Amino acid sequence: MEEPLIPLVPMSHTAHIRSHRKPRNRSASNLAMRAGVAGGVLSMASVGAAASASAAEPVTQTLELPTLTADMATQVAQSAEATQQAAADYLLRAERDAAAAKAAKQAKADLAVAQKKAEARKKAEEARKAAAERATRDSARTVLSATTASAPSGSVGTVISFLKAQVGDAYVMGGTGPNAWDCSGLVQAAFKQVGVDLPRVSQDQSTVGTDVSLSSLQVGDILYWGAKGSAYHVGVYIGNGQYLDAANPSKGVVIQNLSGYPATGAVRVL
């Protein structure tokens, strides 16, 4: 049996032109590649959408701590040592400050004790000196009392008794008694006891009464030092080569030997 014949279709007269050829069936690989490209585009779009959605939410990241190396360990050890040294230095300064404060407090207390002791010693010394002065004054007055019986009688005796009663009193420039005198103030007060008014100052007292030579002195005569009319000091002769005067701030009212401080001249008013 003969196979049927396939009728031949005549080719178009434009079939040899590429653009007029009928489209061929594309291979499976081309289709797969096109599908892959499309899938990639869709994937990128999905990633962009996801990124846009994620931008609105905070992102929490987990940081991995660095590995502790030998250098870092050394630095940590050095930092710890420096911190320990700083703490030790601070403690040492605190101890020193506390010790200094304690020492200052003790020094202040010691100073207060020393000052109290010094004040006590000063008061004791002042009391001792006062007692010694009182003893000297009492002794001098005892001696004067013992010689009162031999003192001249009458007006001269009164003058001498008054003068001896003032022995031990202080010397004060311009003093007129009752416990402090200068030289002319004492002489004026003594003669006033018997009604004789003498000038206030030594210069004028050297010019009153009758001039007397130093070789013929009598108890009660007024002695003066310096030129007559310009004398700078006066006293009263009490006999036995002695005189009584308000000498100076260091001696006060005393009895002295005329030989140790000879007078310039003398006057007699009684």
The number of beta carbons lying within 10 Å of the beta carbon of residue 177 is: 13
The DSSP bridge pattern shows strands 222-225 and 210-212 to be unpaired
Instruction: State how far the alpha carbon of 26 is from the alpha carbons of 30, 34, 37, 162, 201, in Å.
Output: 7, 11, 16, 168, 162
pLDDT at 261: 93
Q: Which stretches of the chain are assigned E, i.e. beta strand?
A: 170-171, 180-181, 210-212, 222-225, 233-239, 242-246, 253-257, 265-268
The three-class DSSP label of residue 11 is: coil
Supply the DSSP string of 190-206, one letter for each residue: HHHTTT----SSHHHHT
* Ordered per-residue pLDDT tens for the chain, 270 residues: 455 555 554 555 555 555 445 555 555 455 445 544 445 544 454 445 444 444 455 555 555 555 556 677 787 778 888 888 888 888 888 888 888 888 888 988 888 888 888 888 888 888 888 777 777 666 655 544 444 444 455 799 999 999 999 999 999 999 999 999 999 999 999 999 999 999 999 999 999 999 999 999 999 999 999 999 999 999 999 999 999 999 999 999 999 999 999 999 999 999
**Residue written as token pair 């040492």:** 92
The number of beta carbons lying within 10 Å of the beta carbon of residue 135 is: 10
In this structure, whether the domain defined by 152-268 belongs to CATH 3.90.1720.10 is answered with yes
pLDDT at 95: 86
pLDDT at 31: 45
The DSSP bridge pattern shows strands 233-239 and 222-225 to be antiparallel
Tokens at 136, concatenated = 């000297």
The predicted model scores a pTM of 0.47
Helix (H) or strand (E) holding 72: helix 70-146
Instruction: Count Cα neighbours of 148 within 13 Å in the Cβ-side half-sphere.
Output: 14
Torsion, CA 128, CA 129, CA 130, CA 132, rounded to 10? 90
**Where exactly are the structural domains of the chain?**
79-146, 152-268
pLDDT at 130: 79
CB of 169 closer than 8 Å to CB of 181: yes
CB of 247 closer than 8 Å to CB of 256: yes
Q: What does the DSSP 8-state code read for residue 148?
A: G
